[in-house]
Amino acid sequence: MNNCKSLAPSIDNNSYILILGSMPGVKSLEEQQYYAHPQNRFWKVMGVICNEPNLYELDYDLKLKVLLKNNIALWDILKTCKRDGSLDSDIQNETPNDIRKLLRKYPNIKTICLNGNKAYSSFKKYFPDLLEKFNCNKMPSTSPANARYSLNKLIDEWKIILV
């Protein structure tokens, strides 16, 4: 089992939407970049949401700036875990990030989007009270492992964050 440690949040004082994943996959941890796996559809979905169709082609720092310009922050539910590979189903010995502290520091966050089943179940496990305090949305995973969702179907589901 490999020890995994989450990335730092990408957030600023203007952020009012927080997208939380579970734990970055192997490629993302190697690159130290959110959603770095080329088959992950996150950046293509966000490109449509942010009206930047070529977002997925930009340098990583520019991708984050586009999200922040659109008031979207990124982080993960889990701070550490043990896992071989990238599948959420293989996560063991998890510890959560201090989501409450982040939300206190950034009080403009009103909406929380949970990217996939593991993000949602972990959020519900560690932060059940926050489900009531925030507009929380369980979103379909943008991971390539979520083959049931086409890119267009993902985009349609994720458009809820525009409201």
Active site residues: 40
| DSSP per-residue letters across 32-56 | TSTT-STT--HHHHHHHHTT-TTGG
State how far the alpha carbon of 159 is from the alpha carbons of 107, 140, 156, in Å.
23, 12, 5
Consecutive H or E run containing 68: helix 60-69
